[in-house]
């Protein structure tokens, strides 16, 4: 008789999440953190993460008419960076964050961008809906990053791009231990600091065409995959 007979998606998701990080969280926790961060997110994370945002969009190479899904649009801080010749859909779980994004898009007149409230682990789009599916600074913020990436792959068309911009656990033994130690604290400001990149890629069955550090110090990584 197997040790675990229970066939339960949530149970398996918990096991995966614990393997990738020492911290396990749920949607209620994440929603509470980002509801509180909505009013100060741009001040805290805007300048720090901006170089990564610029480089990611340069490397993606969005073409005229591309359908782009931004998973975790937050306050819409990326909105003005997208070329106006594409069609962008931004989704987020937090309504206060989306309220900020809506105000920004209206103020800047960005008619090529639409926003929707949605769980990244249960995307409400048909298969093969987008040319580019992009998750900036998201996968270490969600309860089940593997499920999120599976959904990203599902809605990306064959030949399209799946793009992840994120902090992953350091490969340095000393810094890796620090990432692990800090993760129970950093989760309260919106992210797990110890998500393991090789294990994440293996479990998500992603084969990157590009993995690039995008800042100094090298705290964030850009991962681009073709479907």
**208-224: burial string, b at 16+ Cβ within 10 Å, e else:** beeeeebbeeebbbbbb
Q: What is the pLDDT of residues 9-36, one digit of tens each?
A: 443 444 344 468 888 888 888 778 888 8
Tell me the three-class secondary structure of 188-214, residue by residue: HHCCCCCCCHHHHHHHHCCCEEEEEEC
Cα 77 from Cα 131, distance rounded (Å) = 21
Cα 92 from Cα 86, distance rounded (Å) = 20
Q: Which CATH class is domain 9-226?
A: alpha beta
Does residue 189 surpass a pLDDT of 90? no
pLDDT at 216: 66
Q: Which residues pair with 226 in a beta bridge?
A: 161
pTM of the model as a whole: 0.87
pLDDT at 183: 87
pLDDT at 10: 43
Mean pLDDT computed over 180-194: 85
Mean pLDDT computed over 88-112: 96
């Amino acid at each position: 008789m197997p040790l675990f007979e229970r066939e339960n998606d949530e149970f398996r998701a918990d096991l995966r999440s614990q393997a990738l990080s020492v911290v396990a969280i749920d949607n209620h926790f994440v929603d509470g953190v980002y509801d509180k961060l909505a009013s100060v997110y741009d001040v805290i994370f805007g300048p720090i993460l901006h170089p990564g945002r610029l480089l990611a969009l340069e490397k993606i190479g969005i073409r005229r008419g591309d359908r782009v899904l931004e998973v975790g649009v937050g306050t819409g801080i990326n909105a003005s960076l997208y070329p106006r010749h594409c069609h962008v859909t931004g989704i987020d779980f937090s309504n206060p964050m989306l309220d900020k994004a809506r105000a920004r898009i209206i103020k800047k007149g960005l008619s090529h961008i639409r926003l929707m409230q949605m769980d990244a682990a249960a995307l409400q789009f048909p298969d093969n809906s987008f040319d580019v599916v992009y998750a900036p600074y998201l996968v270490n913020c969600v309860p089940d990053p593997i499920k999120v990436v599976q959904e990203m792959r599902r809605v990306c068309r064959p030949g399209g791009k799946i793009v992840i911009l994120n902090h992953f656990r350091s490969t340095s033994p000393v810094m890796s231990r620090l990432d692990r130690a800090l993760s129970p604290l950093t989760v309260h400001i919106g992210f797990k600091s110890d998500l393991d990149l090789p294990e994440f890629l293996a479990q998500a069955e992603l084969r990157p065409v590009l993995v690039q550090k995008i800042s100094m110090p090298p705290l964030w990584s850009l991962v681009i995959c073709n479907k």
